[in-house]
Structure 1
Amino acid sequence: MSKQGTETRGFQSEVKQILHLMIHSLYSNKEIFLRELISNASDAADKLRFKALENANLYAGDAELGVRISTNKEAGTLTIADNGIGMTRDEVIENLGTIAKSGTKAFLESIGSDQAKDSQLIGQFGVGFYSAFIVADKVTVKTRAATANADQAVMWESAGEGEYTISDAEKETRGTEITLHLKEDEKEFLDDWRLRSIISKYSDHISLPVEVQTTDEESKEVKWEKVNKAQALWTRSKSEVSDDEYKEFYKHISHDFADPLSWSHNRVEGKQEYTSLLYIPSKAPWDMWNRDNKHGLKLYVQRVFIMDDAEQFMPNYLRFVKGLIDSNDLPLNVSREILQDNKVTQNLRNACTKRVLQMLDKLAKDDKEQYQQFWSEFGLVLKEGTGEDYANREAIMKLLRFTTTQSDSDAQTVSLEDYLSRMQESQEKIYYITADSYGAAKNSPHLELFRKKGIEVLLLSDRIDEWMMSNLTEFDGKQFQSISKSDESIEKLADQNSDEQKQVEKELEPFIERVKKVLGDKVKEVKLTHRLTDTPAIVTTAADEMSTQMAKLFAAAGQKAPEIKYTFEINPDHQLVKRVADTQDDVAFGDWVELLLDQALLAEKGSLSDPSKFIQTMNKLLAQ
């Protein structure tokens, strides 16, 4: 490694924004900075242990891995030192000068100066190091990579104001030493008792010993005293671990600042031996929809850290789950490629998936309010599971929540079990409608018959809903039925075959023939319907045809969808239809029929292929 001298570099603009957010009182409790720096030190030790599996020399000349915290009251400095993996010059620039996450810039711009949002964000960037600037007006980092010599260390220094200097340095041992030059009004963090209480509160669960420097008053001898338990939390018995410890451990592994909604800690022995500790967060990460969103569990093998974000243990639709898995059955030299096709992996994935679905089911039964919080944050992602995870589809369906015609709000609070419990005796199916928005679904003319009969309908307006429903056929023996498709059960509800209706239909046969002649092949079929009350006409699709919403999904994805041929259904009891049926002038009749069809298409699709023609026809008829 050649010497590169001293250089001053500017922070990436996103880092400047993060620093600005933090230095201007982002955290309500400043002491979190110590948790973040100890957490980073713990990660550095984990990485060293893993690398040392292949190269034992990395441990050279060292005792136990640990974190040491010391103060210098005269200089006003606090130092956090570890003997972990350390960093090279390039790694220092990458880790301390940039935030390597796509979409960060746009996201930071979108939050503006919303303080409530700000306070939840920093951990989600994995940039806990910068929290040092809340209490320090200058931070000095001296680091030596485990693979480097004593004279190949690196010094990094910044006042957190837009730039930093980086220079060559010497360091006798590997690892990283962070010195905080505390602000005048933050000198409380030089107090020995204050430091110990923070370490006990936030870092008790870390498997690395965290030691504080003490000086014997008589002999002036410097000693190091361990403050935390230093036993990996997941290896302890559940009965020994308090709720607060579980919460702090979640914050340590997730870099989140909010408490988790719930967690599950399990030790399994038998055919396979493993421990899992799984958490449901209370807030969705800002980049959950990014394609490169890192997700998955931390993987340990026999207590040795192997990798972060091992996505092989959690299906994509549960990508919000945080936690770890510690297996006794995987080899220590396991790689992502080996995990992909490993039978042990598959069994662990199945077990973890079931465990999470059970946690959610329990949450839904025990605490409806908390489950609603979960649903509002992660419901859209969970819906993906209906198509991705056939084996657990029934369990996922029980967790789905909907808004329906029974409520006056777009809040999704109704479960399928709730819906079934309210079904009418004669009702054969679970009815639903998909639309672009809650308003469009709620006001759809397709609902008129169901309102008249007092039958509840699920109102679906999330973009994923049409795709989700294409994967669902039935729940608890009851089939799902879109009310915008032709179906025998709907015709039954409309009493479509009564004698009176048959008489009306016979009388209007010439009218229907005349409409067919005007529309030609624009529609698949023209018929009378008795399912409408206030609307003159609607369009429906056949049971085996693509729905309007699915065609829109295809178009949004840039794919060509097959052209939909609609059935044009006309309400014979509507005043406008009666007037059109009496119109003798063929041109006027044609205009009215075109207008009725366009109205029905507009209600169904939300748009028309030729809106100006529709407006011209309407104006022409209004003028008459």
Structure 2
Amino acid sequence: MYLKQGIAANPADAETINSLLRFKTNLNPEAWSSLEEYVSRMKDGQKEIFYIVGEDPKSVLRSPHLDYFHSQGTEVLLLTDPMDSFMLMGLRKYKDFDLKNVAQAEVDTTQKPKDEAEAEKIPDADFNSLIERFKQVLGERVTDVRASTRLYQSVARLADADSSTNADMQRVYKYLGKEYEIPKKVLELNPSHNILKSLLKQEAGSELQNIIIEQIYDSALLVEGLHPDPSSIAARVQQIMEAALTKSSN
């Protein structure tokens, strides 16, 4: 933590400190790895050091931003200490490799796992109507709702509307409590996910459909570590459980 703090406080000293840093990764979440060791394991043609910022080591591994990287076996640094967000203000590069947040990384989505490539998608007309329903329910909380090309296991993810947005600074503002507001992002949906297929079967505009849409958005915020009041989700989860139990008993 003190090494990270040193980089945050004195970015000019990053080059003399970064070799001492140790991180856990998605491919080996139990072991510590240096940046040099990470670089030695990079895939041919990989030009960036990928990282993901999250709340804790277990939940970050379930982040939808990792769907693509898991599928390709690409290693990603797990940054789950509050100091990591501050450290990143001074650590932007290691040797010739830029550090890149997976949430903003450009990826080649044409290289999909065989089973994912063959997953049946919701027909475009139906999916477009579902997108419109999400927009109506979420309103100005999101800048847009669209289909994702990089989600395989997850139902949704939040992406920055502007590629120049500093996602790491959003977390810094949250930790500092300085005029923090939930950042408005693009909600990307997985057109092959079973939850969305089932959601289409619900009556349009029904209470159950609306609260599930709300839950999908809040869950995405929660995984991002950007939800200002996670406990507020509990009441809606109870509603969904009651609806599911009522349906199963009929």
Give me the TM-score of the superposition, normalised by structure 1.
0.35
Paired position in structure 2 for 1:401: 22
Paired position in structure 2 for 1:80: none
The SS at the match of 1:586 is coil
- The unaligned stretches of length 5 or more in structure 1 are 1-379
Change (3 A) 1:475 1:558: same
Query: Is the contact made by 1:595 and 1:617 (CA closer than 8 Å) also made in structure 2?
Result: no
1:410-425 → structure 2 map (5 Å cutoff) = 411=31, 413-425=32-44
C-alpha distance after superposition, 1:547-606 (max 9, x if no partner):
3x6545434434222431122111111111111134343214323212221222222226
C-alpha distance after superposition, 1:350-377 (max 9, x if no partner):
xxxxxxxxxxxxxxxxxxxxxxxxxxxx
Structure 2 residue 92 is matched with structure 1 residue 473: yes
| Aligned with residue 46 of structure 2, among 409, 413, 427 | 427
Change (3 A) 1:431 1:424: same
Measure how far apart 1:500 and its partner are. Answer: 9.4
The SS at the match of 1:610 is helix
| Aligned with residue 590 of structure 1, among 210, 235, 239 | 210
Q: C-alpha separation between the residues in 1 aligned to 2:35 and 2:52?
A: 15
Query: Is the contact made by 1:595 and 1:614 (CA closer than 8 Å) also made in structure 2?
Result: yes
Change (3 A) 1:621 1:570: farther
Q: C-alpha separation between the residues in 2 aligned to 1:609 and 1:524?
A: 25
Q: C-alpha separation between the residues in 1 aligned to 2:198 and 2:11?
A: 52
Structure 2 residue 108 is matched with structure 1 residue 486: no
Q: C-alpha separation between the residues in 2 aligned to 1:436 and 1:445?
A: 14
Measure how far apart 1:462 and its partner are. Answer: 1.6
- The unaligned stretches of length 5 or more in structure 2 are none
Q: C-alpha separation between the residues in 1 aligned to 2:181 and 2:88?
A: 19
Measure how far apart 1:480 and its partner are. Answer: 1.5
C-alpha distance after superposition, 1:126-182 (max 9, x if no partner):
xxxxxxxxxxxxxxxxxxxxxxxxxxxxxxxxxxxxxxxxxxxxxxxxxxxxxxxxx
Query: Is the contact made by 1:555 and 1:561 (CA closer than 8 Å) also made in structure 2?
Result: yes
Q: C-alpha separation between the residues in 2 aligned to 1:444 and 1:402?
A: 18
Query: Whose radius of gyration is greater, 1 or 2?
Result: 1
Query: Is the contact made by 1:505 and 1:528 (CA closer than 8 Å) also made in structure 2?
Result: no
Q: C-alpha separation between the residues in 2 aligned to 1:527 and 1:534?
A: 17
The SS at the match of 1:431 is strand
1:270-281 → structure 2 map (5 Å cutoff) = none
**Identical-pair percentage:** 29
Structure 2 residue 200 is matched with structure 1 residue 581: yes
1:180-579 → structure 2 map (5 Å cutoff) = 380-409=1-30, 411=31, 413-483=32-102, 485-487=103-105, 489-490=106-107, 492-493=108-109, 506-507=124-125, 508-542=127-161, 543-547=163-167, 550-579=169-198
Measure how far apart 1:513 and its partner are. Answer: 2.3
Paired position in structure 2 for 1:86: none
Give me the TM-score of the superposition, normalised by structure 2.
0.80
Query: Is the contact made by 1:494 and 1:531 (CA closer than 8 Å) also made in structure 2?
Result: no
Q: C-alpha separation between the residues in 2 aligned to 1:532 and 1:386?
A: 34
* Aligned partner letter, 1:486: Q
Q: C-alpha separation between the residues in 2 aligned to 1:428 and 1:510?
A: 39
Measure how far apart 1:505 and its partner are. Answer: 7.7
Paired position in structure 1 for 2:241: 619
Query: Is the contact made by 1:601 and 1:608 (CA closer than 8 Å) also made in structure 2?
Result: no
Change (3 A) 1:601 1:584: same
Paired position in structure 2 for 1:291: none
Q: C-alpha separation between the residues in 2 aligned to 1:602 and 1:592?
A: 15
C-alpha distance after superposition, 1:273-294 (max 9, x if no partner):
xxxxxxxxxxxxxxxxxxxxxx
Structure 2 residue 185 is matched with structure 1 residue 599: no
Q: C-alpha separation between the residues in 2 aligned to 1:554 and 1:569?
A: 24
Query: Is the contact made by 1:598 and 1:614 (CA closer than 8 Å) also made in structure 2?
Result: no
The SS at the match of 1:393 is helix
* Aligned partner letter, 1:446: H
Q: C-alpha separation between the residues in 1 aligned to 2:158 and 2:63?
A: 11
Q: C-alpha separation between the residues in 2 aligned to 1:425 and 1:434?
A: 24
C-alpha distance after superposition, 1:63-121 (max 9, x if no partner):
xxxxxxxxxxxxxxxxxxxxxxxxxxxxxxxxxxxxxxxxxxxxxxxxxxxxxxxxxxx
* Aligned partner letter, 1:439: K
Query: Is the contact made by 2:10 and 2:90 (CA closer than 8 Å) also made in structure 1?
Result: no
Q: C-alpha separation between the residues in 2 aligned to 1:595 and 1:621?
A: 14
1:130-145 → structure 2 map (5 Å cutoff) = none
